[in-house]
A and B are shown apart, each in its own frame.
Chain A
Amino acid sequence: MEYLSRKQKMKKISRGFKMVEIEIDEDACVGCGSCVDDCPNNVYQMNEETWKTTVVNADDCMACLSCHEICPSQAMTHRDIHVAKRLYIDRKVNDVLEKII
């Protein structure tokens, strides 16, 4: 049996799927580096000059959204991902969420 690292496994699983596109809002980024610390696949790196996060390995993103979770300023947007994997969805909350202008 061939040995695959976690990264390779994720790549294998994601083969055939569309790559995730990550957009960083540099104005929003506060430069805390939490996404760099938390990303299991090292997708992010700090830009040494501007001290804002940059996407260096978008191909390795497995769309776990840990970065989104830890980011204090919601600076990243992931495109083309399937987010409705939650076990429990509160309809009352969703109703309010949709209506926030």
Chain B
Amino acid sequence: MVTIALETLASCSGCEISILDLHEDLLKLLEKAELVYAPVLMDVKELPDNIDIAIVSGSVRNEENKERLEELRTKSSILIAYGTCACYGGITGMADLYTRDEVTSRTYSDNPSTESAPLPNEVVPELLSIVHPAADFTEIDGFIPGCPPKEQLTGDILIPLINNEAPDVPKKSVCADCQREMEHVEYDKIHRRVEGSPEDGKCFLSQGYVCLGSVTLGRCGGLCTDAGVPCHGCGGPSLDVLREPSHDIYNGVIKRIAHLSNMPEKDVEKQMYDLGHVIYGFVIGSTIMEDKLVSKIPQLVKK
């Protein structure tokens, strides 16, 4: 039996739930594997020894997360960063748009909807100064980005893994799955996502909406674009963006919009808004995205 542990760090538990979403495939998984640790499913506090596959989700936000992650590394033979938070900082990384003190005071002392309280100085673990993806602190053996990774993908990866086979899954961008048609249309105004209603069947970029599909790792089936919502980039950067030092989510989107709309890149840049949420919402905590010379993340984060 292969032993599997699911650990949640600073996370919403959505990633663990996505593993449960395997439905019948979960039985296939449990034929050969045993879940030995999963706080989201069972009453268990301490990590057992000799874990074969440890699946960690969420980012490292406080001292306890860091300790847990290190313990997980020593007790497991394969450690997988599961979900965009563990891989690139994800949604939780947006806390980096504020300083640690701003975050704590908003929670405890300066929140308009609750009574002000002093900051706790015991029991509650201390926050680290910024949010870190799991790979910042320890050696990771595999990354599965996604928010959360979709159940089909998870099944296609986990089932071969426990059988000691190499998973064979696509690694293309969201556009590869999206059914909308991209065409060159001249326009000179970028719309906010809340403005107007985008036409069905036509690419969001061709209509002047900021969609991150072309710079985002897909395998989600284009669920959002199918439902009429532009891609927010929850899958993390596409492998092309990640690989090339001169490529970044920001300049990738700018270039794509300029190319499709015939607007000069400078004009597109002027109309871009709220980069921290719209462009870098899911990767702001990632050091590899921040280290790119073309990245705008260093201008956005407060440390």
Contacts and interface: CB of A to CB of B under 8 A. Distances in A.
A1 to B, nearest CB: 36
A72 B175 contact: yes
Given A34-B259, A72-B182, A92-B288, A28 B143 contact: no
B182 A30 contact: yes
A99 B181 CA distance: 32
Q: What DSSP secondary structure best describes chain A's contact surface?
A: loop
Q: What DSSP secondary structure best describes chain B's contact surface?
A: mixed
Interface residues of A, number: 28
Interface string A9-41: 000000000000000010110111110000000
Interface string A70-87: 101111000000000010
A4 interface: no
A25 B176 contact: yes
Contacts of A74: 172-173, 176, 238-240
Interface stretch (B62-70, B104-112, B134-142, B265-273): B134-142
Interface residues of B, number: 40
A32 B180 contact: no
Given A72-B173, A90-B288, A97-B239, A33 B184 contact: yes
Contact of A73 (B142, B176, B183, B184): B176
Nearest to B240: A74
A32 B229 CA distance: 20
Q: Lowest 6 A-B CB distances belong to which pairs?
A: A72-B214, A73-B175, A28-B176, A32-B182, A73-B176, A72-B175
Contacts of A75: 172, 176
Given A32-B183, A99-B141, 16 more contacts: A30-B178, A31-B181, A31-B183, A34-B259, A72-B213, A73-B176, A90-B245, A92-B287, A93-B242, A93-B288, A97-B243, A99-B143, A100-B144, A100-B239, A101-B80, A101-B157
Nearest to A72: B214
B27 to A, nearest CB: 22
Contact of A101 (B167, B260, B291): B167
B203 interface: yes
Contacts of A97: 239, 242-243
Interface of B: 80, 135, 140-145, 157, 167, 169, 171-173, 175-178, 180-184, 203, 213-214, 217, 238-240, 242-245, 256, 259-260, 287-288, 291
B249 to A, nearest CB: 13
A32 B203 contact: yes
A70 B213 CA distance: 13
Contacts of A88: 245
B243 A93 contact: yes
Contacts of B157: 101
B142 A99 contact: yes
A46 to B, nearest CB: 11
Contacts of A68: 240
A93 B288 CA distance: 6
Contacts of B184: 32-33
Contacts of B177: 28
Interface centre among A51, A70, A72 (most CB of B within 10 A): A72
